[in-house]
Chain A
């Protein structure tokens, strides 16, 4: 089998190829099937609140070309695994000619109901009993012949990670899809002969009635039926009337499916006694209070430190290389190409400052965190952490799985925003992203320490962090109360722990990193250009004059402090550097921070800087992940919180 390395087909021939849909419960290794069959790993972009993307790959299996479509992991056809639509909508959209059901060979009783539901659709079904290596470690072997008799279809024992049986299973599904396509081409509603029904007479009667309704003409059914996607699927020839009826009556049929599944699993599994695998023991420990909680703390500290230390070292190295090589070249070329100094300098802000910002945030912090997150996801540990932290994060309206991005935000907010993809609903992602933007990243922590500790003492710096964290928790409680909806109840299958596959981890991290670069780079460049113009044209002084009275009255700070807070939008590290630069221009001589503001003012300045509008890279990530409105809402809320907190502190400290 080979991937799309064949000559590009004509549009017509590609459209005519048979389609095989990959269906299975979450974490069963479907994507590995797609990767093996197409010889390329894939990471799909499916996250709550986004449009679900169906990954479709052209493959060549034993002399036949076909499309292989990867669908999100689902527990039943009426489940809503990602996005807003039930799974069967996605299946109908894929319009498969055959279904390849990928299941866990070690847990047939819970995976067969989905296979039976797929079989009920009247489409050819090939069953891959996957993860046979893990099943074998648990003392379970599958009698594929017996299971094939019960399912009335081909059954393949497979091991996606090792590639065992994958090509055979895919080729078998492609052959059945091609066969069905040849038979049904030209017919309006394909009707598979189908296996014997497992349902009792009463349920069968209901099915026949529902199927009959789905074959009726629209005009006799009225307006409600006109918007019935099941009716559309039947009349488009994607589903048979009986197949569509089994979706409509899923609630009636499911208990019979589970009962049949338990019986068939019992008939096709062979057990032998084996000691409990180490991975299962570690998985049990990971969710027990002991040693689960100390292990979680260790993993969290490791996540934070690796983002901070590895990111910091890489950032320093990349910055020094950039400033030694690219910056001088740009400084020589840009003024030569652009003769107007103000514009040339603003363009330098954009190209030199903006690209350096991407380089010093993107590669070191973002890529490091993505690699770490991919390891935690691929190993299955993320679900253990989610369960342990569920109660603590529940008061903030978040599930426990929010712990990893929120803690990692202390390193850098940008990857943590993308990390909120581990959350399942848009509401959770909004609250999670809001909290992430309030957690002081390493740059903001540096500002707090540098602005407060030398002038007001280390205890004041710790107090400043305490205030920021208190505001963050209060904001979480407020967001949980104000954002409509409530946290869904937790029903979570705990994934077994597995050794992460380096190729999967690398591909997943790279795919996410690429999205970050594509989304954030234009915004970083444009934002830097605008701020560069404001600075180089001297407009910042006019802005300082305009906002001066308001900044003085509300926060008790000098006007240039307000401008510096605004400019820190580009990069939070600039909050102090720019303040010193502005002060030098304003005072006519270089001035230390202590000359410019009192310790109380610096305390307020540090807290307002830390809480106010996230930096431009974070804003770009927010916009890319949650949309412009949500990004603006979160930025506005952080600004309001920062100004409110600053105003209260200024009055308590007697500076306003």
Chain B
């Protein structure tokens, strides 16, 4: 067996803390099309801007825009953390 590089740790957007940045690697169905229309595609860089009360939508920054994603949508997105 040849030595392999450890895979970069994956961070689920739903559990990322406010201020965390991640490069999107996974966008699961069924929200992939909807997210793609907003530009949330593999390779996109997201920053968690804030969370709303009562487990409401998470607000992320993508480039110069802010997107509100409900919990089930955020759960479909994961990526590599960026310092």
Chain A contact residues, CB within 8 Å of chain B = 75-76, 79, 106-107, 109-110, 113, 138, 251, 254-255, 258-259, 283-284, 287-289, 292-293, 383, 386-388, 390-392, 394, 400, 489-494
Contact of A391 among B37, B56, B62 (CB under 8 A): B56
B53 near A289 with CB under 8 A, answer yes
A390 near B68 with CB under 8 A, answer yes
Hey, what's the 0/1 contact readout for B9-48 against A, CB within 8 Å counting as 1?
Answer: 0000000000000000000000101111111010100000
Given contacts A254-B36, A288-B50, A491-B31, contact A390 B63 (CB under 8 A): no
Given contacts A75-B37, A491-B73, contact A387 B64 (CB under 8 A): no
Give the Cβ gap from B12 to chain A, nearest Cβ, in Å.
16
Complex contacts, B34 vs chain A, CB 8 Å:
489, 491
Sample 13 A-B pairs with CB under 8 A, ordered by A number: A110-B65, A113-B39, A255-B36, A255-B41, A284-B49, A287-B66, A289-B50, A388-B52, A388-B53, A390-B52, A490-B68, A490-B70, A492-B57
9 further interface pairs, Cβ-Cβ under 8 Å (given A491-B67, A494-B66): A75-B38, A107-B63, A113-B39, A255-B36, A391-B52, A489-B31, A489-B70, A490-B69, A492-B67
Contact of B67 among A79, A288, A388, A494 (CB under 8 A): A494
A289 near B73 with CB under 8 A, answer no
Complex contacts, B36 vs chain A, CB 8 Å:
254-255, 258
Tally of contact residues, B, Cβ under 8 A: 30
B65 near A387 with CB under 8 A, answer no
A391 near B31 with CB under 8 A, answer no
B53 near A391 with CB under 8 A, answer yes
Give the Cβ gap from B45 to chain A, nearest Cβ, in Å.
11
Contact of A493 among B31, B38, B41, B70 (CB under 8 A): B38
Complex contacts, A284 vs chain B, CB 8 Å:
49-50, 66
Q: In the docked arrangement, what's the CA distance between A494 and B55, Å?
A: 18
B73 — nearest CB in chain A belongs to which residue?
A489
Give the Cβ gap from A345 to chain B, nearest Cβ, in Å.
55
A390 near B39 with CB under 8 A, answer no
B67 — nearest CB in chain A belongs to which residue?
A493
Given contacts A79-B37, A387-B59, A491-B31, contact A392 B54 (CB under 8 A): yes
Q: In the docked arrangement, what's the CA distance between A284 and B66, Å?
A: 9
Q: In the docked arrangement, what's the CA distance between A489 and B29, Å?
A: 12
Given contacts A106-B64, A494-B66, contact A289 B52 (CB under 8 A): yes
Give the Cβ gap from B39 to chain A, nearest Cβ, in Å.
5
Q: In the docked arrangement, what's the CA distance between A283 and B59, Å?
A: 12
Q: In the docked arrangement, what's the CA distance between A213 and B3, Å?
A: 49
Give the Cβ gap from B52 to chain A, nearest Cβ, in Å.
6
The 5 A-B residue pairs with the shortest CB-CB distance in the complex, in nearest-first order: A391-B56, A490-B70, A75-B37, A391-B54, A494-B66
Contact of B63 among A75, A109, A251, A283 (CB under 8 A): A109
Complex contacts, A258 vs chain B, CB 8 Å:
36, 39, 41
Complex contacts, B55 vs chain A, CB 8 Å:
391
Q: In the docked arrangement, what's the CA distance between A381 and B51, Å?
A: 18
Q: In the docked arrangement, what's the CA distance between A388 and B37, Å?
A: 23
Q: In the docked arrangement, what's the CA distance between A388 and B51, Å?
A: 9
